[in-house]
Amino acid sequence: MNTNQKALTYLDIHAREVKNIANSKFFLDTIHPSSSEPKNGTYERIVCESVMATFHLDNWTSTARNMYKYLNNKQYEDEFKKISEYMNRIETVCANKYQDIFISKNIYAWIATFDYFTTFNLDDARFLEFLDAFKEELINKPVDGLKFEDTELNAENEKRRGTKDKIVVTTKISILKTLMKEFFHKDDEPEEELISDYDFVREVLDYDLRDDQIEFCEELLDDLTINVDNNSKLMDEKNRKSLLAIVTYATENDMDLDDWIVDYFKRNHIYMNDQRQNFRIMKQDVENYMRQKEKIAV
């Protein structure tokens, strides 16, 4: 066993999920082909690097063993599922057309950048436009005086840094996100942040609601979340729109969310940046929960 394979033994909680992702079509078709990487644990490491780069960049570590030990926590299960989803979506639109871009040492940066892309509320096919522009010109465009290809160079002595050094990792992701934001002419905040919480609720529910009705639901949301983990990412201010919308939806449809919201917070630890999509996911979840509850009651 090599270093990567030995280190993987520290990830027993998510090992099966990681191996399944490493055998997906994204690795078979979309990334640059290799005869050795599928066998030596590189693909499994890429999966975990993608989770770290997307959700835990501040805690990035270049050592595989330390990374696996950090991620060996049940609460990160949803993050692995989200990375799997992103890889499947990229494979669907890219197939094998961008293997020269998706090389193994940079996969984590592209996955983290795709996560950023999802905040723009664009069709996944638009991601290809950015990839084409990156290949043709943006790869050579400096961001704060540094090109993407030069991120591994030490400015002091022009020697190569380690490709997994934190400064290299964070700089690559920062450059890609900056180039993407400029390419799609996006401001720092997604468009939906310009919509008030109340208008968001009216829009996604398509209900004619008065301010006082939504205000009541806002107070109810505060009461409901007393019994959940208030350190959960689901409590982020950026996720409040969809939470308020689901509470309003439940109120208008005579649903009691006391048990559901506690259960939902136990099962989920991340949310979609696209709050409309996140609301749809929660709406489906709460409806399934209520149906199961009715079956048990019968």
**Residue 236, phi-psi category: left (phi > 0), alpha (psi -120 to 50), beta (remainder):** beta
Q: What confidence tens digit (pLDDT) does each residue in 74-116 have?
A: 888 999 999 999 999 999 999 999 999 999 999 999 999 999 9
The whole-model pTM stands at 0.67
User: Rounded to 5 degrees, what are φ and ψ at 143?
Assistant: -120, 115
Comparing 270 with 138, which gets the higher pLDDT?
138
Q: Is 16 helix (H, G, I), strand (E, B) or coil?
A: helix
Q: What is the pLDDT of residue 193?
A: 52
3-state secondary structure 112-173: HHHHHHHHHCCCCCHHHHHHHHHHHCHHHCCECCECHHHCCECCCCCCECCCCCHHHHHHHH
CA 263 → CA 58, 78, 257, 258, 268, distances in Å?
29, 15, 10, 9, 9
Q: What is the dihedral of CA 175, 181, 185, 190, to 10 degrees?
A: -160
Buried/exposed 231-267: b ≥16 CB within 10 Å, e otherwise: ebbbeeebbbbbbbbbbbbbbeeeeebeebbeebbee
Q: What confidence tens digit (pLDDT) does each residue in 147-192 have?
A: 999 888 765 445 566 788 888 999 999 999 999 999 998 765 444 4
Q: What confidence tens digit (pLDDT) does each residue in 17-41 have?
A: 999 999 999 999 999 999 999 888 9
Q: What confidence tens digit (pLDDT) does each residue in 210-261 have?
A: 999 999 999 999 999 999 998 888 999 989 999 999 999 999 999 999 999 9
